[in-house]
C-alpha cells in the first residue's frame, strides 16, 4: 500500500485548482511571513490582494499541495515586483558617470561608496570618490582610509565648505583626472530626528551641481516598516534612480527590499552583505524573494516537481490510465520519477496527510520499490508492455523469478499489484466503472 501512495503523488490524479477557499489559510501564512520579514503593512495588503486575485483558478501541479503551489506563485510575483532581473548600473555616454549616494546616517553610505568604487574598478573602470559629509570630520577620514584601502583617489575639501561646492570642485577634479566614474558620499541624519528639510535641500543642490546618472538611496536591510515612508520621501524630494540594500548579512529577512520597488518603482541595484570591501554584489530578485518568504524548502520542492513532471508526460500517462494501458514501463518511469524528486522521506513529507509515515515504513517502501524494479528489469519488452502475458503464463513468471533471483510468489504479487494499480488509478480519476481484477491462471 505504501507503494501505491508513493506512486500516486507522481500523478496526483484529481487535478486541483486554487480556489478562494483553499487559499485562505496559506495566504494567512504568507501574510505573516511578509510581516515577519518587515514588509510594510500597506505594501503587504496590496500585494496579498493582487496575488489572491491572480491565484484563484490556477491549476495545481501534480504531486504538489495547493499551499505549496501558492507559495510558488507568490514567490514569482515577488520576483516580478522587485524588477524580475538584475538591474544594472547606468553609465552616461560622456565621462564621467556620476553616482550620488544618499540615505540616513549609519546605513552604510560611506562604506558603500568605497565598496562601489572597488566593484567598478574590478569591472575595469577608473573611479574617484568625493567626501561630501561635512558634518562629521571622522566621516571624511573614514572615506580617505577606505579609498586608500581599495586604491581609489578621494577628493576631500574639509568641513568648512558647503556640500554643493565640494561637489563642484570634486567634479572638476574628476574631469581633470579623466576618470570614468565619480561617486559622491553624502551626510545622513539620525533616524530618530527623521529626515529634515535642510538635509533634503542640501542634497537637491548637490544633485543640481552633479547632474548624476544614478542617485542611489542606501537603505539598511533592517529598516523594517519605515522603509516605505523613507523611500517615498527621498524619491519625491530628490528623485532616486535606484537603491542599495546594506547589511543583508544580518538577521533581517529584508522586507525593505519589497517596499523600495513598490513605492518608488525604482529597482534595488546592489546589496551589501558584510563589512569587507568585497561584500557588495548585484541584487538578485529571486534570491531576495526566497529570503523574504523564508520558505526556501517549499519553493525548491515545487520547482523540482515541476521540472520532473513534464506536463506532456503527465498527460500521456493520464490517457494510459484512462484506457487501463498502464504497463510495467510506466511503472518503472514513475518509480524513477519519485527517485528523481529526492529521497523518499522528503517526498513523502510533502504529501498531504502523510506526515505520520515512520522512517521504518519508508525504508520498507524503498526496499519494495527496489525489489519490483529488479523483477521488471528482467522482463522482455513485450512483457513490460503487456502484463497480461505474465498474468496468463506461469512459465513466464517462473522465468522472471529465476532471472531476478526472486520467488515465483513475489513475481505473481507484482503482476497482481500492477492490475490493482490500474483499477485504483482509474477509480481515483473519477472513472467509476473501474475494472475487475484478473485472476492469475495457474
DSSP 211: -
Contact by Cβ (8 Å): 328, 383 = yes
375 Rama class: left (phi>0) / alpha (psi -120 to 50) / beta: alpha
281 near ligand GDP, rule: CB under 6 A: no
- Segment contacting Mg ion (CB under 5 A): 132-140, 166-174, 398-406, 415-423? 132-140
By CB under 6 A, what part of segment 107-126 binds ligand GDP? 107-111
Grid cell, residue 193, equals 530626528
Q: For ligand GDP, give the closer residue by CB, 131 or 414.
A: 131
User: Which does residue 273 touch among ligand GDP, Mg ion, none (CB within 5 to 8 A, set by kind)?
Assistant: ligand GDP
246 binds ligand GDP (CB under 6 A): yes
List 13, 139, 376, 425, residue binding Mg ion (CB under 5 A): 139
Q: Which of 62, 72, 247, 426 binds ligand GDP (CB under 6 A)?
A: 247
Task: Say which residue the cell 494499480 belongs to.
Answer: 421
Bridge partners, residue 270, by sequence: 244, 282
Half-sphere exposure of residue 244: CA atoms within 13 angstroms, side-chain side? 32
Q: Which is nearer to Mg ion, 65 or 109 (CB)?
A: 109
Min. distance of Cβ 220 from Mg ion in angstroms? 12
State yes or no: residue 163 binds ligand GDP (CB under 6 A): no
When binding is defined by CB under 6 A, the residue of 29, 173, 237, 249 that contacts ligand GDP is 249
Residue 340 as a binder of ligand GDP (CB under 6 A): the answer is no
Which 8-state DSSP code applies to residue 105? T
User: Which residues neighbour 319 within 8 Å (Cβ) at sequence distance 6 or greater?
Assistant: none
Helix axes 311-322, 408-428, angle to 10 degrees: 100
Q: Which listed residue (26, 66, 132, 188) binds ligand GDP by CB under 6 A?
A: 188
Is residue 273 involved in binding ligand GDP (CB under 6 A)? yes
When CB distances are held under 5 to 8 angstroms depending on the partner's kind, the choice from ligand GDP, Mg ion, none that residue 146 binds is: none
2-372-418-328 Cα dihedral, nearest 10 degrees: 130
Mapping DSSP to helix (H, G, I), strand (E, B) and coil, where does residue 172 land? Answer: helix
16 within 8 A of 52, measured Cβ to Cβ: no
78 or 215, CB closer to Mg ion?
215
Asked whether 329 and 384 are in contact (CB, 8 A), the reply is yes
Which of 5, 76, 91, 106 lies at the binding interface for ligand GDP (CB under 6 A)?
106
Interface positions with Mg ion (CB under 5 A): 109-110, 139
- Residue ranges in contact with ligand GDP by CB under 6 A: 103, 105-111, 188, 246-247, 249, 272-275, 279
Amino acid at each position: 500500500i505504501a507503494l501505491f501512495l508513493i506512486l500516486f503523488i507522481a500523478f496526483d490524479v484529481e487535478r486541483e485548482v486554487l480556489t478562494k477557499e483553499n487559499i485562505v489559510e496559506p495566504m494567512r501564512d504568507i501574510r505573516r511571513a511578509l510581516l515577519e520579514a518587515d514588509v510594510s503593512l500597506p505594501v503587504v495588503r496590496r500585494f496579498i490582494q493582487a496575488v489572491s486575485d491572480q491565484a484563484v483558478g490556477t491549476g495545481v501541479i501534480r504531486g504538489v499541495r495547493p499551499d505549496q503551489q501558492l507559495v510558488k506563485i507568490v514567490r514569482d510575483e515577488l520576483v516580478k515586483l522587485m524588477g524580475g532581473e538584475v538591474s544594472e548600473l547606468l553609465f552616461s555616454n560622456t565621462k564621467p558617470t556620476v553616482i550620488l549616494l544618499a540615505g540616513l546616517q549609519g546605513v552604510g553610505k560611506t562604506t558603500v561608496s568605497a565598496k562601489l568604487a572597488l566593484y567598478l574598478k574590478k569591472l575595469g573602470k577608473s573611479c574617484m570618490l568625493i567626501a561630501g559629509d561635512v558634518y562629521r570630520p571622522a566621516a571624511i577620514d573614514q572615506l580617505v582610509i577606505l579609498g586608500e584601502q581599495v586604491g581609489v583617489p578621494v577628493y576631500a575639501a574639509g568641513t568648512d565648505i558647503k556640500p554643493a561646492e565640494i561637489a563642484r570642485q570634486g567634479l572638476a577634479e574628476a574631469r581633470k583626472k579623466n576618470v570614468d566614474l565619480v561617486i559622491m558620499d553624502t551626510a545622513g541624519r539620525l533616524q530618530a530626528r527623521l529626515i529634515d528639510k535642510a538635509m533634503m535641500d542640501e542634497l537637491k543642490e548637490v544633485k543640481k551641481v552633479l547632474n548624476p546618472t544614478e542617485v542611489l538611496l542606501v537603505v539598511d536591510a533592517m529598516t523594517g516598516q519605515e522603509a516605505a515612508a523613507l523611500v517615498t520621501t527621498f524619491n519625491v524630494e530628490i528623485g532616486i534612480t535606484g537603491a542599495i540594500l546594506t547589511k543583508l548579512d544580518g538577521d533581517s529577512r529584508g522586507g525593505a527590499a519589497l517596499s523600495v520597488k513598490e513605492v518608488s518603482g525604482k529597482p534595488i541595484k546592489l546589496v551589501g552583505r558584510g563589512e569587507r570591501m568585497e561584500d557588495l554584489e548585484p541584487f538578485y530578485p529571486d534570491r531576495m524573494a526566497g529570503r523574504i518568504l523564508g520558505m526556501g524548502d517549499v519553493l525548491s520542492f515545487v520547482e523540482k516537481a515541476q521540472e520532473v513532471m513534464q506536463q506532456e508526460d503527465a498527460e500521456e500517462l493520464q490517457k494510459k490510465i484512462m484506457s487501463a494501458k498502464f504497463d510495467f514501463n510506466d511503472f518503472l518511469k514513475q518509480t524513477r520519477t519519485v527517485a528523481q524528486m529526492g529521497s523518499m522521506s522528503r517526498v513523502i513529507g510533502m504529501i498531504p496527510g502523510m506526515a505520520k509515515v515512520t522512517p521504518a515504513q519508508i525504508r520498507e517502501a524503498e526496499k519494495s520499490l527496489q525489489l519490483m524494479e529488479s523483477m521488471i528489469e528482467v522482463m522482455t519488452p513485450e512483457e513490460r508492455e503487456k502484463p497480461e502475458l505474465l498474468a496468463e503464463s506461469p512459465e513466464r513468471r517462473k522465468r522472471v523469478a529465476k532471472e531476478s533471483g526472486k520467488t515465483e510468489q513475489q513475481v505473481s504479487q507484482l503482476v497482481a499489484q500492477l492490475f490493482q494499480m490500474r483499477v485504483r488509478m482509474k477509480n481515483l480519476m473519477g472513472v467509476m466503472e473501474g475494472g475487475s481484477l484478473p485472476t492469475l491462471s495457474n
